């Protein structure tokens, strides 16, 4: 694993991050996940337009300084490269229910694309026996950045062909290797690429985005949440907004993905599609008389999440750094459990269409101790 850049294979307590078992999935179950993700993405697109048309940014917790860039990226149809749906159910006859959509900075791509496929191959199993063509689909999505008419201004003497600059934060090996994997996919798709850390990138609204060597780029991929950027670097948001207005560069994933990333969109979805079999009831206030989960509009890895009973008592909860955000309240649904009482959550990557399945396993509220569990399609 380390030879191919997968360095976070072992947790601090010495346990393996990648499970030695496989989740057995039938063809019908794999098809169910595929259909659910595709149907939901269409719903998200309608919900995003609804938020913009009705100025619901505050309800979703969207930073005010980011709204203009969100609208620009939406109106310009900037291409959404990839995201990951998190689902409950889908196995053993249980209905698939949407928990959330990690649309901006999803992780576990390396595990889904590379590791679980390599595990089948190295164990002499049929490496095609997975719902897992995420690598190829993301490569095709990179090509769509161009074929869908990005509308970029050409860069005169600076223009060096279609180039993508990839950036991640320093000292975060998982983020960096995920970013470098995407860079590798872009190269396979025919792009010229470069990598630099986020603090090495430069921005000039009249010219575009630069790498550490002052080379201009057409596209900037950043594994950096938009909401964190808006809070920590407001001046940078102003620069990016002006750059986008002049069409000097395109940012990946686009700023509008924060609409999908916000847990607040779950209420909008339920309001718009109350009869969808994939959606759980959700609101901005506790759900009275209904067992539910409270979670921050922007949060990660199960932090600051509580499970609340029908009577309003907190059954279990987690701490974390995201308590500063408003809460979304979502109807509770049981996750699949094994004999040891560990729960399973499905993750389905989306890149133009659903394209990769993987599972996380852990405690009742999945957190940063969760294990990645590969799968195999087996009737």
pLDDT, tens digit, 9 for 90 and up, residues 82-93: 999 999 999 999
10 Å CB burial of residue 288 (0-12, 13-18, 19+) is exposed
Pick the more confident residue, 207 or 150.
207
Percentage, residues of the chain above pLDDT 90: 72
> Cα-flanking dihedrals φ and ψ of residue 126, to 5°?
-75, 105
**Boundaries of every domain in the chain:** 2-261+339-377, 281-331
Helix (H/G/I), strand (E/B), else coil: 261: helix
Q: What is the DSSP letter of 70?
A: H
Handedness of CA 26, 84, 46, 60 (dihedral sign): positive
Distance, in Å, from the CA atom of 371 to the CA atom of 375, rounded to the nearest integer, reads 13
Q: Among the listed ranges 35-49, 81-95, 173-187, which one has the minimum average pLDDT value? A: 173-187
Per-position DSSP letters for 333-368, written without gaps between them: -PPEE-TTS-EEEEEEEEESEEEEEEEEEESSS--T
pLDDT for 158 equals 37
Distance, in Å, from the CA atom of 97 to the CA atom of 31, rounded to the nearest integer, reads 15
| Closest to 215 (Cα-Cα) out of 249, 188, 242 | 249
| 8 Å CB contact between 306 and 64 | no
Beta partners for residue 358, in sequence order: 347
pLDDT at 187 > cutoff 70: yes
pLDDT at 209 > cutoff 50: yes
Q: Which is it for strands 292-296 and 327-331: parallel, antiparallel or unpaired?
A: antiparallel
pLDDT at 181 > cutoff 90: yes
Q: Among the listed ranges 123-127, 147-151, 357-361, which one has the minimum average pLDDT value? A: 147-151
Distances (CA, A) of 343 to 88, 150, 335: 10, 42, 6
pLDDT at 39 > cutoff 90: yes
Percentage, residues of the chain above pLDDT 70: 96
| 8 Å CB contact between 119 and 178 | no
**Vertex 46 angle, CA 99 and 142, to 5°:** 80
Q: Which is it for strands 23-25 and 219-223: parallel, antiparallel or unpaired?
A: unpaired
Pick the more confident residue, 299 or 56.
56
| 8 Å CB contact between 85 and 37 | yes
Region 358-363 average pLDDT: 94
Does residue 101 have a cis bond before it (omega within 30 degrees)? no
pLDDT for 155 equals 38
**Vertex 255 angle, CA 254 and 259, to 5°:** 115
Which are the contacts of 230, defined by CB distance < 8 A and separation ≥ 6? 63, 65, 66, 237
Distance, in Å, from the CA atom of 46 to the CA atom of 40, rounded to the nearest integer, reads 10
| Closest to 161 (Cα-Cα) out of 83, 101, 216 | 216
Q: Which is it for strands 97-102 and 83-88: parallel, antiparallel or unpaired?
A: antiparallel
> Cα-flanking dihedrals φ and ψ of residue 40, to 5°?
-65, -35
Distance, in Å, from the CA atom of 25 to the CA atom of 21, rounded to the nearest integer, reads 13
| Closest to 181 (Cα-Cα) out of 7, 362, 326, 374 | 7
Distance, in Å, from the CA atom of 127 to the CA atom of 272, rounded to the nearest integer, reads 40
pLDDT at 159 > cutoff 50: no
């Amino acid at each position: 694993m380390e030879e191919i850049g997968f360095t976070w294979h072992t947790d601090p307590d010495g346990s393996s991050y990648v499970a030695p078992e496989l989740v057995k999935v039938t063809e019908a179950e794999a098809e169910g996940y595929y259909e659910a993700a595709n149907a939901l993405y269409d719903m998200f697109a309608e919900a995003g337009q609804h938020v913009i048309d009705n100025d619901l940014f505050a309800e979703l917790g969207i930073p005010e300084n980011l709204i203009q860039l969100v609208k620009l990226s939406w109106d310009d149809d900037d291409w959404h490269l990839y995201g990951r749906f998190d689902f409950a159910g889908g196995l053993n006859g249980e209905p698939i229910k949407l928990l959330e959509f990690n649309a901006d900075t999803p992780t576990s791509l390396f595990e889904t694309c590379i590791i679980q496929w390599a595990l089948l191959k190295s164990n002499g199993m049929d490496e095609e026996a997975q719902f897992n063509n995420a690598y190829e689909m993301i490569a095709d999505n990179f090509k769509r950045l161009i074929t869908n008419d990005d509308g970029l201004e050409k860069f005169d003497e600076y223009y060096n062909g279609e180039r993508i600059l990839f950036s991640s934060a320093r000292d975060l090996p998982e983020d960096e290797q995920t970013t470098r994997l995407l860079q590798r996919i872009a190269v396979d798709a025919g792009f010229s690429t470069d990598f630099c850390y986020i603090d090495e990138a430069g921005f000039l609204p009249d010219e575009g985005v630069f790498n550490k060597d002052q080379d201009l780029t057409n596209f900037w991929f950043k594994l950096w949440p938009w909401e964190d950027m808006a809070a920590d670097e407001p001046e940078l948001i102003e620069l990016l907004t002006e750059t986008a207005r002049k069409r000097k560069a395109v940012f990946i994933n686009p700023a509008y993905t924060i609409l999908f990333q916000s847990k607040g969109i779950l209420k909008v979805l339920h309001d718009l599609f109350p009869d969808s079999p994939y959606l759980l009831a959700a609101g901005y206030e506790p759900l009275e008389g209904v067992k539910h989960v409270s979670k921050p509009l922007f949060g990660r890895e199960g932090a600051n999440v509580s499970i609340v009973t029908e009577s309003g008592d907190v059954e279990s909860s987690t701490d974390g750094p995201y308590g500063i955000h408003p809460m979304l309240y979502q109807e509770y649904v049981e996750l699949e459990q094994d004999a040891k009482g560990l729960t399973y959550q499905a993750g389905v990557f989306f890149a133009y269409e659903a394209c990769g399945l993987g599972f996380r396993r852990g405690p009742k509220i999945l957190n940063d101790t969760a294990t990645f569990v590969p799968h195999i399609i087996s009737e």
